[in-house]
Structure 1
Amino acid sequence: MIRAWLDTLPLVAILRGIKPEEAVEVGRVLFDAGFRVIEVPMNSPQPLESIRLLAAALGQQCLIGAGTVLRTELAGQIAAAGGRLIVMPHADVAMIHAAKRADLYCVPGVATPTEAFTAIHAGADAIKLFPAEQIAPAVVKAWRAVLPRELLVLPVGGITPESMAPYVAAGANGFGLGSALYSPGRDLQDIARRARAFAHAWKAGIASEGSHA
């Protein structure tokens, strides 16, 4: 189950724009900071090669996959490269079915309860609330009242260490992290610092929730 990969640290690193020659170094930095799920968006340079390299280097310890997957025929190519996860910005039922046929985890993007339940019924392993900038914690709390309790809900879009706690309090189970964590040209030390800041913010948010339970 995808939950097992998110148990330790439920943060998904989104490496949009990464190049194959830097993928493994960045992946190792993220692993050292506690990340266990890494996504290479398909609109990055040579994304399948980056996925192949990451899967070869870290595939035993991390769930490696593809993001911004828009075409069903890509599911087989991602699986062949060693990817085990497909993430999308939308709730395309055909894409979810293609991912499941390829024996991949699938996390579609949703922005309404209708999209969320459509994705769940199609076989989604978790849902990505996207873009989180337009789905406030109060909305997440309302959704949580009707969504299946066991379903993982991951806000994505504009998330920073400072914005995580209200979402956690509202019922978010983790986050997808983009440019606030990685962007092309950022050096490894900066990526490491940002990764540790996110990991610390998650643990602090959980600790705060526990103290108010």
Structure 2
Amino acid sequence: MSTPRIIAILRGVREHEVAAQLDALRAAGIESVEIPLNAQGAEASLEAALGYAGTQMRIGAGTVLDAAALSRVARIGAHFVLTPNLNDAVVHAAAAQGIEAVVGVATPSEAFAALAAGAAALKIFPAASLGTGFIAALRAVLPPVPLYAVGGIDERNLAAFIAAGCTGAGLGGALYRAGQTARQTYARAIALQAAMEAVAA
């Protein structure tokens, strides 16, 4: 699969809801999904997602805070992991398991340290607080590594972050909130995809 523009963050999705939510996302053209671990039942939902659509979608674990969590999601078969912070042990463990690590950073020093540790991509977090000026300045000094804006990104500011130099965005509350229907997810996904497509127009 090509480098994703949108990573759907399904925080709090329940195991029995996974299939319908993934179908809604795929119907809207989103094929990369993160299931954060800081919600009850997250690992069961991750396993269900991988079992249902692991050959058609990129499915990974988010909020991976330590090497033990990394090992658990590796056993489940996660395609990638996202972290909210730079933890060398997690990045090294991901590399050892052959899992792509998208590492959370908020400073240039963290960004370069994450790349040196083996990060495949960088998660700029919290992006809305850091702003598009930070993205543009960081992009100017970084090698051509994928950058994802995460935290406070929605259809109103998505285009600005892409224009500033982000490859794409991780979308949480703007796309999915625990308990919403698959129909609601589809409608939000279509709106966000339209905002993304407007950037390229």
Which TM-score band applies after superposition, normalised by the shorter structure? over 0.9
Superposition RMSD in Å: 1.1
Partner Cα distance (2:96, 2:41) in 1: 24
Q: Does 1:32 align with 2:20?
A: no
Is the 2:66–2:87 Cα contact (8 Å) retained in structure 1?
Answer: no
Distance 1:48 1:5 in 2: 26
2:175 corresponds to which residue? Answer: 181
- Percent identity over the alignment is 37
> Hey, what does 1:161 align to over in structure 2?
155
Corresponding residue to 1:10 among 5, 8, 23: 5
**Aligned pairs for 1:1-213 within 5 A:** 4-6=1-3, 9-149=4-144, 151-207=145-201
TM-score for both structures, normalised by structure 2: 0.96
2:95 and 2:59 map into 1 onto residues whose CA distance is: 16
How far does residue 145 in structure 1 lie from its aligned partner after superposition?
0.9
Figure out how many residues of one structure are paired with residues of the other and give that number. 201
Runs of 4+ in 1 over 2 A off after TM superposition: none
Q: How big is the shift at 1:27? A: 1.1
Post-superposition Cα deviations, 1:23-61, rounded to whole Å, max 9, x if no partner, equal 121111111111111111001221121111111111111
Q: Structure 2: state its 5+ residue gaps.
A: none
3-state SS, counterpart of residue 157 of structure 2? helix
Residues 123, 147 of structure 2: 8 Å contact kept: yes
Indicate the SS of the match to 1:162. Answer: coil
Task: Return the letter of the residue paired with 1:196.
Answer: I
Instruction: Please give the secondary structure, in 1, of the residue aligned with 2:128.
Output: helix
Determine helix, strand or coil for the equivalent of 2:178. coil
Q: Assess if the C-alpha contact under 8 Å between 1:18 and 1:45 holds in 2.
A: no
Contact 2:66 2:89 in 1 (8 A): no
Q: Distance in 1 between matches of 2:26 and 2:75?
A: 23
Contact 2:103 2:121 in 1 (8 A): yes
Letter matched to residue 15 of structure 1: L
Any gaps of 5 or more consecutive residues in structure 1?
A: 208-213
**TM-score w.r.t. structure 1 length?**
0.91
Distance 2:122 2:22 in 1: 23
Offset, 1:16 = 0.8
Shift of 1:82: 2.0
